[in-house]
Amino acid sequence: MESPPVFASTLCLLFCLSSVFGIGVDPSMQIDVLSELQLGDSVAGVRQVPGLHNGSKAFFFQGTARNIKVSPEKAELSFQKLRNKHEFTMLVSLKQTLLNSGVIFSIHHLDHRYLELESSGHRNEIRLHYRSENHRSHTEIFPYSLADDKWHRLSLAISASHLILHVNCNKIYERVVEKPYMDLPVGTTFWLGQRNSAHGFFKGIMQDVQFLIMPQGFISQCPDLNRTCPTCNDFHGLVQKIMELQDILAKTSAKLSQAEQRMNKLDQCYCERTCTMKGISYREFESWTDGCKNCTCMNGSIQCERLICPIFDCLPNSAPGYVDGKCCKECQYIDECAEGRHYCQENTMCINTPGSFMCVCKTGYIRIDDYSCTEHDECLTNKQDCDENALCFNTVGGHNCICKPGYTGNGTICKAFCKDSCRNGGICIASNVCACPQGFTGSSCESDIDECSDGFVHCDSRATCINLSGWYHCECRDGYHDNGMFSSSGESCEDIDECGTGRHSCANDTICFNLDGGYDCRCPHGKNCTGDCIHEGKIKHNGQIWMLENDRCSVCSCQTGYVMCRRMVCDCENPTADLFCCPECDPRLSSQCLHQNGEIVYNSGDTWVQNCQQCRCLQGEVDCWPLSCPEMDCEFSILPENECCPHCVIDPCQADTIKNDITKICLDETNVVRFTGSSWIKHGTECTLCQCKNGHICCSVDPQCLQEL
């Protein structure tokens, strides 16, 4: 046996190695997605390539003719590890093609994205789409560029509502989010490198795509983030523990030796003979029943005899016969239907009954007498299951339902059909009739209502009306900002003191004077000023034009102390036009995109709204991001049904989102202190639920509860 110090040194070394190389990850706590897929060069759109390291396989994802998803059986095995877990880490090493926007992985069921990680090269964002416990969809956006054709190691750790994002072993973001809902239903799909068979195609290389069912799983990717090897005190502590274990082992060995001596003496004892049948032990002379046999234990052997059955007589219309699960014959009634001893006529079914039979009409027929039935027209008597938008046709013994023109379905369920499809979230309610959501119009809801130009909106003079796809808002003009009241008309906009806050571009040889809605760069009396500007800490000369470092599609200029930036003007007649900034100049069919419903084709540069997301077609790729909503700094807000952006409300009982303040409490009807966020059943009632919302008590009656009383 090794001496304690040597053994302890070995443990210490293993401890360090496990920290550095991730040794000891329990397979039951790990999902290796690439291993589950068993990818190879025979899979369309994927081929094996060298990776970031040689320790595992790496695969290059290309094109759009691919369907990379885990088989239903293996997906369910993976989901059993992940289902209802609230602490896990998502890991991947990737090298994404420049400017590509694609899904790294997607776990979804029907239209519900339970967990989806996406990287947008169009907007330089990492997005996490998930579903919260209140069954709402959420998107967390992390400004960061992965699509730069360089290797990155990414980990996203979730612990209940706590989220940490690491990129290249650097903590980039740490947030508190809504708690993800991980009760994954059976039939949930697991895609890699795409959202589904038609959208969200990731292009580039992926390696080490894993889920670890632990909140600190990023340590396996970045072991240097873990604590270091044991200190000297830790080492001596390990030695002491090993010595204690050796003492316990010695005492246990002594007890085992004593037990062996006692067991040897048992051979000299008299042992009663027993019998064993089907894993059950019986004592000498004990009897029992086994099926249709009586058994007895005699001298250590089993003796069985068949049960003796009684003699009996049967009544008329019955005869003795064996019954399943019984050992002896019993009287059984004669089956007149099976033996043809009945009088049921055509269009009936014979049903055997104790001592007799009965004739039942087949489906679609009605009774004439006890033995006869005739055809029944369900369409005339309105005893059919056709949809209100279907036609009923009577048939022999039944009926058929066929949807009316302009409707599709199986006849039992018929849905309106719109030839051109309803766009931007519209719903087809009748043949070629779309019900458009607020903010859209047209036969297919294809046109955005410009509330600003159509005169529907009147913004304050300090604000300007901004039309967005499907909605609008009054945004403070340049030189103004909202004072926190967030008036919908812009009345809460107030002047920004650019000079006092340092938010001006005046060069050092000029003096900044604040104006209502702006400022002025004035030259001191007697001086000849240059008119230069300061932009992002750098001096720009008067008349200088430059492009932004982080936005290749914007151009800025300095004009007598003022910096003005604008989007690049697109000239589609110019053959060298930048198609990334000017996608509308891209005429190639390969740059077209397919709508999420698979029915509408968009050209590069087209935009549309889908499920409260702004979508854009850019060179054949669809990129979607949450609609921009006005910032709110109010205590209570509500998200109205069929709308995408929340609104501030004064009444906390109307709010569905609250900025919880734990210092505010409520006193319930019995003077019990209730903290913000707590709920209770009102005293003296069974169906009135109350909740404390920042010092306000809000109660409501549950109608379903009343019905159950």
Higher pLDDT, 209 or 364: 209
Residue 212 near residue 91 (C-beta atoms within 8 A): yes
Q: Residue 468 domain-assigned?
A: no
State whether 109 and 199 are in the same domain.
Answer: yes
Residue 391 near residue 377 (C-beta atoms within 8 A): no
187-201 core/surface letters (b: 16 or more CB in 10 A; e: else): ebebbbbbbeebbbb
Stretch 550-556: mean pLDDT: 84
What is the pLDDT, as a whole number, of residue 553? 86
Closest C-alpha among 509, 512, 514, 508 to residue 496: 514
Domain that residue 501 falls in: 496-530
Give the other-Cβ count within 10 Å of 534's Cβ.
17
Model confidence at 342: pLDDT above 50: yes
Stretch 87-107: mean pLDDT: 95
Which range (3-17, 57-71, 101-115, 383-397) has the least confidence? 3-17
Give the other-Cβ count within 10 Å of 538's Cβ.
8
Q: At 494, phi and psi to the nearest 5? A: -135, 160
User: How would you classify residue 336: left for phi > 0, otherwise alpha for psi between -120 and 50, otherwise beta?
Assistant: alpha
Model confidence at 346: pLDDT above 80: yes
What is the pLDDT, as a whole number, of residue 14? 44
Domain finish residue from 485, 513, 530: 530
State whether 59 and 147 are in the same domain.
Answer: yes
What is the pLDDT, as a whole number, of residue 11? 47
Q: Residue 522 domain-assigned?
A: yes
The domain spanning residue 597 has which CATH number? Answer: 2.10.70
Which range (74-88, 477-491, 567-581) has the least confidence? 477-491
Model confidence at 546: pLDDT above 50: yes
What is the pLDDT, as a whole number, of residue 232? 52
Model confidence at 194: pLDDT above 70: yes
pLDDT-derived band at 438, boundaries 50, 70, 90: confident
Report how far residue 637's alpha carbon sits from residue 654's, in angstroms, rounded to the nearest whole number.
Answer: 8
* pLDDT, averaged across the chain: 84
Q: Residue 509 domain-assigned?
A: yes
State whether 504 and 647 are in the same domain.
Answer: no
252-285 core/surface letters (b: 16 or more CB in 10 A; e: else): eeeeeeeeeeeeeeeeeeeeeeebeeeeeebeee
Report how far residue 184's alpha carbon sits from residue 187's, in angstroms, rounded to the nearest whole number.
Answer: 9
Domain finish residue from 569, 600, 626: 626
pLDDT-derived band at 83, boundaries 50, 70, 90: very high
Tracing tokens 């080492």 back to the chain, one arrives at: 235
Stretch 243-256: mean pLDDT: 86
The domain spanning residue 113 has which CATH number? Answer: 2.60.120.200
Helix, coil or strand: residue 183: coil
Amino acid identity for residue 60 in this structure: F
pLDDT-derived band at 370, boundaries 50, 70, 90: confident
Q: Residue 181 domain-assigned?
A: yes
The contacts of residue 326 (CB under 8 Å, 6+ apart) are none
Model confidence at 422: pLDDT above 60: yes
What is the pLDDT, as a whole number, of residue 181? 93
Find the farthest-apart pair of alpha carbons in the chain and give their distance in angstroms, rounded.
135
pLDDT-derived band at 8, boundaries 50, 70, 90: very low
CA angle 532, 535, 537 (to 5 degrees): 105
State whether 511 and 613 are in the same domain.
Answer: no
Q: Residue 140 domain-assigned?
A: yes
Domains held by the chain: number? 4
pLDDT-derived band at 299, boundaries 50, 70, 90: confident
Q: How far is CA 532 from CA 229, 478, 528, 609, in A?
A: 57, 21, 12, 42
Domain finish residue from 221, 249, 264: 221
Q: How far is CA 682 from CA 691, 700, 707, in A?
A: 10, 10, 18
State whether 103 and 41 are in the same domain.
Answer: yes
State whether 94 and 150 are in the same domain.
Answer: yes
State whether 153 and 186 are in the same domain.
Answer: yes
Q: Residue 177 domain-assigned?
A: yes
What is the pLDDT, as a whole number, of residue 156? 95
State whether 616 and 661 are in the same domain.
Answer: no
State whether 509 and 648 are in the same domain.
Answer: no
What is the pLDDT, as a whole number, of residue 505? 85
Higher pLDDT, 468 or 78: 78
Closest C-alpha among 147, 116, 206 to residue 613: 116
Model confidence at 423: pLDDT above 50: yes
The domain spanning residue 514 has which CATH number? Answer: 2.10.25.10
DSSP 66: -
Report how far residue 702's alpha carbon sits from residue 687's, in angstroms, rounded to the nearest whole number.
Answer: 6
Stretch 87-105: mean pLDDT: 95
State whether 120 and 54 are in the same domain.
Answer: yes
Q: Residue 206 domain-assigned?
A: yes
What is the pLDDT, as a whole number, of residue 108? 93
State whether 86 and 206 are in the same domain.
Answer: yes
Higher pLDDT, 474 or 206: 206
Model confidence at 434: pLDDT above 50: yes
State whether 42 and 160 are in the same domain.
Answer: yes
- The reported pTM is 0.56
Stretch 115-133: mean pLDDT: 93
For 261-281, the pLDDT digits (tens) are 888 776 666 677 889 988 898
Report how far residue 661's alpha carbon sits from residue 680's, in angstroms, rounded to the nearest whole number.
Answer: 19
Q: Residue 54 domain-assigned?
A: yes
For 611-641, the pLDDT digits (tens) are 888 888 988 888 998 887 777 767 788 887 7
% residues pLDDT > 70 (the chain): 93
